[in-house]
Amino acid sequence: MLSLKPDYSGAFSDLVHGIAAAQIWLRLGWQEVKRRYRRTTFGPFWTTLGVGMYIGAYAFLLPRLFHVDMSQYLPYVATGMVAWTFVTALITEGCATYTAAVGLIQQLSFPFAVLNCMVIWRNIIVFFHNLVIVVIVVVLLKVPVTWNTLLLFPGLLIVSLNGMWITILLGMISTRFRDVPPLVGNLVSIMIFVTPVFFFITQLGPRSRHLMNLNLLLHLVEVLRAPMLGQVPPLISYEATIGSAVVGLIATFVIYARFRPRIAYWL
């Protein structure tokens, strides 16, 4: 029987060597994107087309319901939906980080962190494909592009750091308990309706806005959406996302050190 004594040195080595093996996970992530869209004409742009159709449908209907100006609403929804797709993909696909690589894990000896980096990198690739939608909206509606737009890259880094602990934690839990992925998928589907993606947070009352600040998904979206709109993300969003990255990575590392040796057996 495997010991549950934490192996901190082994977990740390796994993370360091996994992240350092950039040549491997960069290639694996790119190959996975190509594999998913093999024999298709538009490749990853099918995802972009799907997101664009989703944005178009909401942008056609909701401005009439909310009585807002289309020139303000469409960029807000487009950037919010692109950011939301990236953030939630890290969560839902993170659940399958290890189960999707069962063959590799059971046959080869390598740092598991390679798989987590691959999931994050793969979704970054898709994010930049989806960014085409934002570029089109920005050009058509003449959304100002400022130096604040460059804050997109620090935001992407912050979300990716959060994605690291999310994919590790959910990957381990989902390997042990196979009911977790569909549960997480259902929760994410619900959360889009209580996260300001299709509505402005200013449309809520003071109490609701205060409660909304407890929604980490809002802040993860905001550090990406605001720069795409040429704005600076709210300070509270940086505090929440950086804080969650630090706390999440530390807490997950402790759990990872204890249960990492069991991942292959749970598969």
Does residue 132 belong to any structural domain of this protein?
yes
Is residue 140, in this structure, part of any structural domain at all? yes
Q: Report whether pLDDT(60) > 80.
A: no
Domain for residue 175, yes or no?
yes
In a domain, 100, yes or no: yes
Q: Is residue 1 part of a domain?
A: no
**DSSP conformation letters of 110-127:** --THHHHHHHHHHHHHHH
pTM of the model: 0.89
Q: How many domains does the chain have?
A: 1
Q: How far apart are CA 57 and CA 71, in angstroms?
A: 15
Q: By residue range, what is the domain housing residue 215?
A: 8-33+41-266
Is residue 222, in this structure, part of any structural domain at all? yes
3 in a structural domain: no
How high is the pLDDT of residue 129? 86
Sign of the torsion angle spanned by Cα atoms 128, 194, 165, 29 = negative
- Beta-carbon contacts of 86 under 8 Å, excluding residues fewer than 6 positions away, are 123, 124, 126, 127, 130, 159, 224
Q: What is the pLDDT of residues 209-261, one digit of tens each?
A: 778 888 999 999 999 999 999 899 999 999 999 999 999 999 999 999 999 88
202 in a structural domain: yes
Q: Which of 162, 261, 156 is nearest to 216 (CA)?
A: 162
